Structure 1
Amino acid sequence: MQIKISISPRAVVKYLVIVAIFFTVVSTGIQICKYVFDYRDDWMKLFNLDRELNFPTWYSAFMIGFCAILLRVIAIGKKQQGDRYTADWKLLSFIFMLMAIDEVVSIHEILIIPEVSEALKLPWFLHSMWVIPGTVFVLWFVKRYWRFSRHLPLKSQQHFITAACIYVGGALIMEMIGSHLAEAQGQQYLPYALIATVEEVMEMSGIIMFIYGLLYYLSQWSDTLNLQIDILNPQPKPFHSKIKK
């Protein structure tokens, strides 16, 4: 049986953007209701971009996981072609898989310890301590993948670099600004809530841009992707009858 599925990068991104806009509008409305009109209800936590383990979190994790799958598909194709950058694609897929897991369980949040940052007298932009290893990782990533990015087509270079800048701008830069506001005013204020919303929106936008870039790269690399899935039937175990003598 052969199943043909047609995928348009623009169509995929259009629906991803619609959902992201929905979460952004709802979350912004929630923040205004919470801090301006003092309306609070349990259902609001399900759509708050500044909360964990809710609909926006799972949506972001789904998109990052989708990136990991697309990267894995590209890596498999590159391996079949004997491409020299196969290992780079595989590593990218692994990194995005870890990012999807972290999006759900928020491992990086463990490093947000205000007492430690105060004891070390860190500058205001490092009060959210996880940005330190985050910055180190970004620097390593740039060094590791700079040569890799140069071999990509110009359009794909633009897509991937733009996506990375948007995502890092949200995950690190806006996190630094948000941590400064949290230290100065606390987290239970509208300005901090809006900064946190911008941070999450930039992260989602960066991932959506990266998904578009990957789909575009696949479309330029090969307009037809043949995916074969073999479903193996379990072999029945031989039946040995025992004859009692």
Structure 2
Amino acid sequence: MKRAENNIDVEKLLAESLTKAGLIDKKQLCSVVKQQQISKKSLETILVERGWVKPQTITYFKENLKNSFEQQTILEPENITINLSPKLAFRVFVTIISFLVSAGLIGSLSQRYLPDFFLRDAFAIAFDLDGEMNIPAFYSASALLFCSIILSFITYIKKNRHDSYTLYWGGLSFIFAFLSFDEIASLHERMVGPVRTALGTSGFLYFAWVIPAGIGVLIFLLVFLKFITNLNANTRNLFLIAGATFIAGAIGCELVGGYIVSVYTKQSIFYIFEVTLEELLEQLGVAIFIYGLLSHISFYTKDAFLKIQIPHRNRTYVA
């Protein structure tokens, strides 16, 4: 079927080329098309039989068409457009978050309250919301990296439009790339011991990294305040909701978690629920931020899309 379609395309191009060259006129072409419908013969066969075009002339034109097709195959990639709907993307992220948080909570509770059974501990470790180098940690790092990629795309658009806030968009892209790396490398957790020792913290400040993190958030707000206030209302509100949700989980819940660990232990049921709430808020904050970014792109470009270019394989279209 594909080969037949290609032959039809070649015949159309052959007819156009012969017409443009003045070798046949439109009246002759119409006559040939009518005979094709009756006899099912090829275009070139009918032209030769009627004596309107010589066989060597048709061969010459077909060779040129073949070369044209092959060059087009090599030089012109095929475009595939994938639509990224903000609402659909948000629903997908929320579904993934719901699964990860539920799996993490079930794993921790089963490890605490149920007798040992096949893969119980392996499942709990794989989905431990307070763990490192596991499925929730990989998802969090990937989501943050996705934010960085979208921000890079927006930065490119803003730069081409000579937007005065291009550097702020680029700065956000760098920050989220760093947060993604931090999620994998757990850099902030390595700060806990040295800061706690230096400041002698305990209780709510047991996880002492929240102190430099809080200072970092204040610096961020001071630097990006003008940028945030100049965003359109919808984007600004989504960014603020996302930021508040993320910080409530990352710093707010971490303060509560520090108090729970100081008074009880990390094995406490209270700590399990605190970690679950913390990860839920962090991941939900990132999902809201992604929704805000895609909505921002849609607002300014009327469509949010990803275009992928895939080169054709070198195929011969002429039979």
TM-score, normalised to structure 1, is 0.88
What does residue 8 of structure 1 align with?
85
Q: Which moved more, 1:69-78 or 1:188-197?
A: 188-197
Match of 2:182 among 102, 119, 137: 102
Indicate the structure whose relative CO is greater, using CA pairs within 8 Å and at least 6 residues apart: 2
**TM-superposed deviation, 1:227:** 6.6
The separation in 2 between residues aligned to 1:227 and 1:20, in whole angstroms, is 23
Return the alpha-carbon distance in structure 1 between the equivalents of residues 199 and 307 of structure 2: 55
**What is the CA distance between 1:228 and its match in structure 2?**
7.2
Rate the CA distance shift 1:5–1:179 in 2: closer, same or farther, 3 A: same
Trace 1:98-137 onto structure 2 (pairs within 5 A). 98-113=178-193, 117=196, 120-122=199-201, 124-137=203-216
Instruction: Supply the distance in 2 between the matched residues of 1:36 and 1:118 (Cα, whole angstroms).
Output: 35
1:189 is displaced (CA, Å) by 1.6
* 1:172 alignment partner, one of 226, 240, 251: 251
Give the deviation of 1:37 after TM superposition. Answer: 2.6
Instruction: Indicate the residue corresponding to 2:289 in structure 1.
Output: 210
Q: Tell me, yes or no, if the aligned pair for 2:155 and 2:169 is still in contact at 8 Å.
A: yes
Residue identity matched to 1:13: F
Residues 20-62 of structure 1, C-alpha deviation per residue, up to 9 Å, x if partnerless? Answer: 1001111111121122235452232001111111011111111
In structure 2, what residue type is equivalent to 1:177? V
User: Percent sequence identity over matched residues?
Assistant: 33
Q: Does the Cα contact within 8 Å between 1:31 and 1:194 map onto a contact in 2?
A: no
Q: Which has the larger radius of gyration?
A: 2
Q: Say whether the 8 Å CA contact 1:49–1:56 is kept in structure 2.
A: yes
Match of 1:239? none
Q: Does 1:48 align with 2:124?
A: no
In 2, Cα distance between the equivalents of 1:183 and 1:46? 26
Paired residues for 1:162-201 under 5 Å: 162-201=241-280
2:207 match: secondary structure? coil
CA contact (8 A) 1:35 1:189 kept: no
Contact map agreement 1:170 1:198 (CA 8 A) in 2: yes
In the TM superposition, 1:66-105 aligns within 5 A as 66-105=146-185
**Distance in 2 (alpha carbons) for counterparts of 1:63 and 1:201:** 13
2:101 to 16, 21, 24: 24
Paired residue total:
231
How far, CA to CA, are the matches of 2:195 and 2:240 in structure 1?
34
Shift of 1:186: 1.1
Indicate the RMSD between aligned Cα atoms, in angstroms. Answer: 2.0
Uncovered stretches (5+) of structure 1, i.e. residues with no partner = 232-245
Q: Which amino acid aligns with 2:110?
A: C
1:234 alignment counterpart:
none
Using a 3 Å threshold, how does the CA distance of structure 1 residues 230 and 12 change in structure 2: closer, same or farther? closer
C-alpha distance in structure 1 between counterparts of 2:104 and 2:79, whole Å:
43
Structure 2: gaps (5+ residues): 1-77, 311-319
Shifted more, 156-165 versus 194-203: the winner is 194-203
CA distance in 1, matches of 2:226, 2:239: 14
Partner of 1:2: helix, strand, or coil? Answer: strand
**Any residues of structure 2 matched to 1:156-167 within 5 Å, and which?**
156-167=235-246
- The residue type paired with residue 186 of structure 2 is S
Question: Are residues 118 and 36 of structure 1, via their aligned partners in 2, closer, same or farther at CA, if it must alter by over 3 Å?
Answer: farther
